[in-house]
Each structure stands twice: as structure tokens, then as C-alpha cells.
Chains A and B, each alone.
Chain A
Amino acid sequence: MSAQANDAGLVDWIVVGRTDEVPSRGARVVRAPSGDIAIFRTTEGAIFALRDRCPHKGGPLSQGIVHGEAVTCPLHNWVICLKTGEALGADKGCTPKIPVRIEDGKVLLPAAVLAAAAA
């Protein structure tokens, strides 16, 4: 049983994997009806989730190099902030950021985000 209610009972959270399944300074992909989601893990062990689509030309951010709290897109080297989804530096654009929760070493995403297009 993996669907769980959150504290306020408003959002269904779904376990998508364990944090240690995501390589440090790396990423994994969650395949969902709403489209791919990239789960990132930084050196410090923080976990972030973004739509796996670069704001530039849709490059798969999960395939980029993760450094600090940012990822460099593999297609044309835009640098995307993992916290906000915003492009850093001179480039402008934003990738939808996905709320993520960690419980007992498990990574959880909101069910609604997996089912439908991101808000």
C-alpha cells in the first residue's frame, strides 16, 4: 500500500522509490501518465523533483550533470536551479517544480501530479 494521506489529508502522496536509489549528484526518472519527472539528489543528500523537461528545448534534465543545487542540461548546457526550476545565469525560463516528501528514506510525490499535467 503506497498511497498515503498527508497531514492535512488533502493530498495523496505516492512512494516512487527510495532516496538511496538515486545516485548522489545524479538523478532518476519517474514515468507517469502526466509525463516524466526527474528526481535529483545533491552531494548533501537533498532530494528535489522537477518535470524532466528543460525550459529551453525540452532536454531531459535527468541526464544532466548535477552540481551544487543545480543541474546542467545535457542538450545545450542551460543550468537549472533544482530548488525553483528556474534557469540560472543569463538564460530565462522555468521548469515546473514538483513538491516532494521524504519519509523513512522513501521519496513521495503527490498523486495528482503523477496523474495529470503539472500545475
Chain B
Amino acid sequence: MAKQSLVVVGNGMAPGRALEKLFEAAPDAYKVTVFNAEPRVNYDRIMLSPVLAGEKSYEDIVIHGDGWYIKHGVTLYKGHKIVAIDRDAKTVTSEHGETVAYDKLIVATGSSPIIIPVAGHDLPGVLTYRDLDDVHAMMVAAKPGARAVVIGGGLLGLEAAAGLQMQGMDVTVLHLMPTLMERQLDGAAGYLLQRSLESRGIRVHCKANTQEIVGEKRVTGVRLDDGTLYPADIVVMAVGIRPSAGLAKDAGLAVSRGIVVAPDMRTSDPDIFALGECAEASGQVFGLVAPLYEMAGVLAQNLLGGTAEFHPSATATKLKVTGIDLYSAGDFTEAKDREEIVLRDPTRGVYKRLVLKGNRILGAVLYGDVADGAWFFDMIKREVDVSEMRETLIYGQGYQGGSALDPLAAVAALPDEAEICGCNGVCKGKITGTINELGLKSLDEVRAHTKASASCGSCTGLVEQVIKLTIGDAYNPAAVQPMCGCTELGHDDVRRLIKAKALKSIPAVMQELGWKSSCGCAKCRPALNYYLVCDWPGEYEDDSQSRYINERVHANIQKNGTYSVVPRMFGGLTSAKELRAIADVVDRFAIPTVKVTGGQRIDLLGIRKEDLPAVWADLNAAGMISGAAYAKGLRTVKTCVGSEWCRFGTQDSTGLGVKIEKFMWGSWTPAKLKMAVSGCPRNCAEATCKDIGVICVDSGYEIHFAGAAGLDIKGTEVLGHAATEEETIEIVAALTQLYREQGRYLERVYKWAKRVGIDSVKAAIMDDTERRRALFERFVASQSYVQTDPWAERVAGKDAHEFAPISAFGAAQFAERRPS
């Protein structure tokens, strides 16, 4: 029988989980097609706040990478919004006109942020906070000192405010109600929260009724009804969400607040399910993932003919703002038949509130000290009768039944069914069981196998305690991340031991440091090769078989197995002679593509591997050498025209860039190293987003470092000032050497600097001139071994085996062996 077709509209966290469950149970039951209005794979929406705060990157929060879809045969339409469901024909159609037929359909369209329809709400610069595009828009706007106004003082608004502030913005939160997060906190706790936000420099204005968003071409401010005007470069509206049920409604499905589903997750059409924030179950809609994941499990079973049912239970949540502890669980709205127990400790900034009905806890809010959150939540879910401990309940688990105040003891006392990870619905028993069964030893392993703490991460501490309880001293939370599966040692230990034990070859490292594999893997070998190249210049013999193909053959592999060739153009300068030689080589080898790169030079793409040495020979003849466009090493030094030509130039930026590149080419570094020199602060060479950048000023040279403009975007930090070109070059080289010696393989300058601290780098290079000189000299020493053009070496015959097949057979004479 042909596979049934399952179509999913929306690719959020809920359907992602449903498909996981489906493929676990029955990998081949359905041919799955997913349409996502967002142009990307499934990612962890919960973690947008850490991305906004710069604590995580998009890559860190991807749940299913492209490979996952390929592996499961899922067709994913990215950036395709479904505009119509035809229930008679059983098809869906996207805005780009793609129509796909379904046997079963899942509508998982999530929610949309509510926009308050005040004047100016549609001005550019008015953002919502829902997806990665919103985060990117905020990050682009977040120039240090720029002003952000966040409308809405609930969970989302406060996370946005904290993130924007971490990005260096001046942030104001406007909240309609008298206190923040009034749904979770009473006035006093709201005040504690407000105070702690204000102490970090976030302005909070409660009872703020927005009257108008002001601006001509884009937003410039927000005016309140009392006339107060807050200037703003961006405005983030975080006032609530509304289930996205329009598509379902248009298709004639029953819709109330959300798309109405029965406990089996079916809508009013038995072949159509609704799932996630767009669904309304038992008269409720949901805004947290834990219940959505439960729905997902139910739905997956029912797709396979099961009869599972979803019944909402209590949920818990945390405010994900680093440094503020706020936990709330269950239902904490006030009502006649409910009682409250409140504990305040103003000196410690602690506030706890329990809402009870009869002898059961309905809800808990903890601020400042959230250690007992899981314990309360567990009692809420299990509807435990608390009459026995009512007097001491609010003091937490430590005070009950004489058990110690030790947090471990508290976790030990939790029953196996106690939920540890709310996002993924993982209970304590599941974690301990999996640890014992598979012999897990680290948090990462537990995350991989149980999914506990794999989403928002707020239960990480608890999970660690469970691991500790289960395996005792075998758990070492400070354990460093091993380099790869071949060793327990981390990068820093390996580097230290290479020096300490004077290990000078890859086999020596593997032997002495107890590698677990015979000859390493594709992760550790290139790293070790770099560490040895860096630590033993002139002594260590480069191991080409431990280099990634591009560095092995000094060209960049392309998707079809051909290569690209990028000759150096020092400082972006070229000449008629060089250009003529390039033109000739292009003609002679029929090179299909010639492109100007983002690095101020020319890329020749689509060259057959066998032709590389001949292409290089011609380029060498015109004086050109490898541009190392493939190297974890010095790439480019971009320059602007500077004082030679430009009416604003203060120094010869082109000349300095050329000098730096001539001095530094050939050096190997932990990851690629890109530089730029601009002739004045107009910064036409974009020096302030490079690994190292120089901005020429009247009085000399301002040296910058630790910028990024690839996967991450980050302006540089100022390292210091130099008066002369010589001093600049010394500083730049010393900085590079420090990075060479401390950086972990594949760690770009900005990540290294963040890890070791900007100040420690400044201290080493700018404050300690002796150390700077020593670093500079080590760099110079190492350069003396590497400034031989790798292309010329290969033209002369080095590694010839790389560029010729071992043998070649024609169709007619394949029995004939051609000597190689």
C-alpha cells in the first residue's frame, strides 16, 4: 500500500516534537511534508532570549537541522505560508502556489503577537517578539547607546528588555498595570522585580498607557496619555499573543479562541488535527511548551491509530533573565475560595507565595529563592494533601519531616514521578533510570538521551543534582568538554601537556596522553596538527593527512569536487600585470567563474584538481602567491584608499595594510584571521567588525580586535593606540601570537577574547610591554618557517600524488594501466 501523506502546516516546537514521536514509533508510516512560513528549520523558540542577550547563537538553538529532514524523508518547504486548505480536495496551497494533497493534516500555526492598534503602530522600527527575524531586527538596531522602548511588562517583555540591555541599548519598559507581571506576582513581588531591573539600568514605567507611537519615516518615540514622551530607536510590543486560527477558520473548522480540538487532538474534521498554541483544548489555549509537547505525544499516537487523550494539567515557568530568579507554577489567580500563604524576606530579596484551595496547592510563585520550585510543582500536579505541613510549607522542603536543608537531600526526597524538566516532561525516574541503564556520566549525555534540560535549560541545576545523586563522585560537574570522542582531555589541557611534556608529533601526543582511538578522528587530528605547528615552529613536520582537504591542497573544494583558487592581492591592491595574468589563466584553463570576493580579491572557481599546479605556475610567474582563502590562518587585510588619495585620509591605510599582510601572510592561527585598515574613522574598510582592525586617526593608529561579521555580528573592542606604523605592527603581531598560543582550534578571535577576557588581552599586550615584545619575537621566529608560497612548492613537485589519479582507464583501453 502506498504511504499515507501527512502534511504539517507550521514548523514550530509542537509539530517538531510530534514528528519525533511519530518517527520513533513508526518511521515509515507516513510521507511527511512540512510547510513553514518562517524560512528555516525547527528551532527552540524558548531560547530566543539567550540569543538576543548574546549568550547563544542561532546554531545553538536549532532543534532539527537540515540533515534531520533528509534523514526522515521529510519535505520541508521553508518560507512557504499556507494560504488555503481545501477540505473537499484534501489539499493545502501555499502563497507561492505549491499545492500538496494530504490524507492527514496537522495545523500547527502557533500564535501571533498582539499589536495594539495605536497611531504609529505600523512605523518601521516597531517590532514584536516572536521569531528569529524579530531577534535579528532587534540586534541590528541595538547599537550601543541606541534607545529601545518595550511595551509590556510580562515574561516576554522583560526578557526582551534584558536582552536589549545586554546588547548595550538604553531600555525603557512601559507597563499598563501598576506592577510588573501582575498575573504572576502581587504588588510587593512586582516591586522587588522592578527594583532589580532598575538596578541593572532598565527604566520601568508602570501605569503607562501608550497613546501614540511617534515618528515620520520610522519610529522616534512613544507618547503616553499623560503626555510623557520616551524617545526610541526601536519599540518592541510584547503585550500578549493570540492563537493563529485564521487559516482553520477560513477552511470552516470550528474555531473559538483557538482551533477547537477534542481530547484526541482532532478538529471538527476527523482528518485534520490542530496542535500547539493555535489549538484550544478543554476550553483552554496554551502559551508554554510543556502542555504542547504533551499534545504532540498524544497526536503522534493517534496518527498511528491510537486512542490517546490530552488533558491539560498545571504548568510551570521561569523568567529567563540571567541573574533574576523567578519561578511560577500552576494557577495563582486569586478567587474567593482560595487562600494564600506569603513569605517575604526583604533583606535577601526573597518572596514566596502559595495559592491553596482546601488542602491542595494550586499555584506557587517564588522570587529570589526558587530552590523549592520543583517540589511545589510536584505537589500541585499530584494534588498532595498538605494539611500536615501547612504551618511550615512555605519554608520549603528543607523544613519538612526533619530532612536536612541540603539541596541534594531535597532532590533525593523527590519521588520518581516528580517532573524535573517541564519543557520536555522528563521526570526524575526517567533520568535516574537512563543514567543507570546507559552508564551516563555527564550533563551533555543526559541531555542527549533524556532531553532533560535540553530546551530552556532552567532546570539544569536540578538535573545536575539528580546526576550527582545517581552516580555520586563519578560526576564531576566542572569536567571540561573533551576535545572529541578520542580523549577525555579538553583543548586547554592538551595544549598545556604538549608544552609540558615536549610532545612533538601527533602519535606522541596520542601515545602519551592516552588517546582512545588508533589514530584520532577528523576533529582532533587537525587541532593537534595546529597546536604542534604553533608550539614547535621549525621542528614539527606538518602532517598533511591531518589537514582538511583545502589546507592539504591549498585550494577550496567546491560542491562538485572542483576547486577554487584565490591569489593574494596584498591590501586589496592589484596591477595591470596581475590582472592580465589572471585573464590569461582564465582563458587557458577555461575557468568557468571569476568573482570578486568579499575580501578584496579575485576568486577563480571551478578548476579541476589536476589543473591546479599548472594554474598556480602561471599565477606564480606573474608574481602572485596563494591567498590562503582556505586557511585557518591569515586571510586578508582589507584597506581603504587612505591618505594617498582620499580627501579625508589621515594616514596611508593602504600602505599599512600591505605592510601588515606582507609581514603576516603564511601564519597559521586557531581559526581564520581577517584584518582591515581604514584611513579615518569613516571606516570604509570596515575595520570594526574584523578579528583585528586598525583605524587611522590624526594622532596615529587605533587598534581594534574581537569583531565578528559572519555567523555572529559584533563590533570590535578597542585594544589601544599606537603612534607609529612600527608600533602598530608590533601590537598586531603580538596580539596574533597571543591568540595563536591561547586560542582553541576553530575558535575565532572574538570567542577567544570573550573566554579569556578582553582585559586580560589588553593587560598582556598594552600594559606589559616586555610580554608584548616577547610575543612579537615568537611571532617573527615562527614566520621565518612559513613564508614559502605553498603553490610554488607544489608547482615544483611537492605532494604530486595529490593532484594526479593513481591510474586512469579509458573506455576502450581500461585493461591498460597508465603508469603514474
Contact B814–A16 (Cβ < 8 Å)? no
Contact B521 A59 (CB under 8 A): no
| B545 pairs with A66, CB closer than 8 A | yes
**Which stretch from B50-58, B702-710, B724-732, B803-811 is at the chain A interface?**
B803-811
CB-CB < 8 A to A59: which residues of B? 561
Chain A: which residue is nearest B70 at the CB level? A56
- A72 adjacent to chain B (CB < 8 Å): yes
Determine if A64 and B806 form an interchain contact, defined as CB atoms under 8 angstroms apart.
no
Report A-chain residues with C-beta under 8 Å of the C-beta of B522: 64-65, 67, 72, 77, 79
Given contacts A28-B801, A29-B805, A65-B546, A90 and B71 within 8 Å (CB-CB): yes
Do A68 and B521 have beta carbons less than 8 Å apart? yes
Binary CB contact string for chain A from 85 to 119 against chain B (1 if under 8 A, 0 otherwise): 00000111000000000000001000100110000
CB distance from B554 to the nearest CB of A (A): 13
| Chain A residues closer than 8 Å to B517, beta-carbon distance | 67-68
Are B820 and A32 in contact, with the CB atoms below 8 A? Answer: no
Is there contact, CB below 8 Å, between A23 and B525?
no
Min CB gap B395→A, angstroms: 47
Q: How far is the CB of A66 from chain B (nearest CB, A)?
A: 7
- The answer to the question of B520 belonging to the interface, with a C-beta cut-off of 8 Å to chain A, is yes
| B: interface residue count bin | 20 to 34
**Number of A interface residues in the complex (CB < 8 A):** 46
**When each residue 509-541 of chain B gets 1 if its CB lies under 8 Å from chain A and 0 otherwise, what string results?**
000000001111110011000000000000000
Judging by beta carbons under 8 Å apart, are A67 and B521 in contact? yes
Whether A84 sits at the interface, judged by CB under 8 Å, is: no
Q: CA A68 – CA B816 in complex, angstroms?
A: 33
> Which residues of chain B are within 8 angstroms of A66 by Cβ–Cβ distance?
545
- Given A65-B546, A74-B549, A74-B557, answer yes or no on A22-B806 (Cβ-Cβ < 8 Å): yes
Q: Give the residues in chain A near B807, CB-CB below 8 Å.
A: 16-17, 30-31
CB contacts under 8 Å to B, within A33-67, are: 33, 36, 39, 42-44, 57-60, 63-67
* A18 and chain B: residue at smallest CB distance: B806
Q: Are B801 and A24 in contact (CB under 8 A)?
A: no
Q: Is the CB of A57 within 8 A of B559?
A: yes
Contact indicator B545/A64 (Cβ below 8 Å):
no
Q: What residue in chain A is nearest B563 (Cβ atoms)?
A: A63
The interface residues of chain A lying within 8 Å CB-to-CB of B546 are 25, 65
- The listed residue with most A CB atoms (<10 A of its CB), out of B518, B526, B561, B816, is B561
* Contacts of B762-806 to chain A: CB distance below 8 A: 801, 805-806
B557 in complex: contacting residue of A24, A65, A75, A90, CB < 8 Å: A75
Partner of B815, one of A2, A17, A42, A65: A2
Contacts of B806 in A (CB 8 A): 16-17, 21-22, 28-30, 39, 107
**Interface: B817 (CB within 8 A):** yes
In contact, B815 and A44 (Cβ under 8 angstroms): no
Contact bitstring A1-20, B, C-beta under 8 A = 1, else 0: 01100000000101111000
| Closest-CB distance, B157 to chain A (whole angstroms) | 39
Task: Say yes or no: B801 contacts A21, CB within 8 Å.
Answer: yes
A14 to B517 alpha-carbon distance, docked (Å): 34
A63 to B805, CA, bound (A): 12
Residues from chain B with a CB closer than 8 A to the CB of A39 are 806
Q: Which of B549, B806, B816, B820 has the most C-beta atoms of chain A within 10 angstroms of its own C-beta?
A: B806
Structural contact, A2 and B809, CB atoms closer than 8 A: no
Candidates B549, B808, B815; contact of A31 at CB < 8 Å: B808
Chain A residues within an 8 Å CB radius of B518: 43-44, 68
Q: Is B67 an interface residue (CB 8 A)?
A: yes
Judge if B548 is at the interface, Cβ distance under 8 Å: yes
Contact A28 B817 (CB under 8 A): no
> Who on chain A is nearest to B819 by CB?
A17
Q: How far is the CA of A17 from the CA of B809 in the complex (A)?
A: 12
> Are A23 and B526 also in contact (CB < 8 A) when A14-B815, A60-B561 are?
no
B805 partner residues in chain A, CB cutoff 8 A: 28-31, 36
Given known A33-B810, A63-B549, A91-B71, contact A43–B519 (CB-CB < 8 A): yes
Residues of B within 8 A of A58 (CB): 561
- The smallest beta-carbon distance between A78 and chain B, in angstroms, is 9
Distance to closest chain B CB from A118 (angstroms): 14
Contacts of A14 in B (CB 8 A): 809, 814-815, 817
- Closest CB of chain B to A117's CB: distance in Å? 13
A115 cross-chain contacts in B, Cβ below 8 A: 811, 814
Given contacts A21-B806, A31-B808, A32-B809, contact A65 B548 (CB under 8 A): yes
B557 close to A33 (CB less than 8 A):
no
A111 to B668, CA, bound (A): 44
Against A, the Cβ 8 Å flags (1 = close, 0 = not) of B66-78 are: 0100010000000
Taking CB atoms, residues of chain A closer than 8 Å to B817 are: 2, 14-16
A33 touches B561 (CB 8 A): no
Residue of B nearest to A90 (CB): B71
**A-side contacts of B547, CB under 8 Å:** 65
**Whole-angstrom distance between the Cβ of B553 and the nearest chain A Cβ:** 8
Having A66-B545, A111-B814, one finds 9 other A-B pairs with CB under 8 Å, namely A12-B815, A16-B806, A17-B820, A21-B801, A39-B806, A58-B561, A68-B518, A77-B522, A91-B71
Sample (22) of A-B pairs whose CB atoms are under 8 Å apart: A2-B815, A14-B815, A16-B807, A17-B807, A21-B820, A23-B801, A25-B546, A30-B806, A31-B808, A32-B809, A33-B810, A33-B814, A60-B557, A63-B549, A64-B549, A65-B522, A65-B545, A72-B522, A75-B559, A77-B522, A91-B71, A111-B815
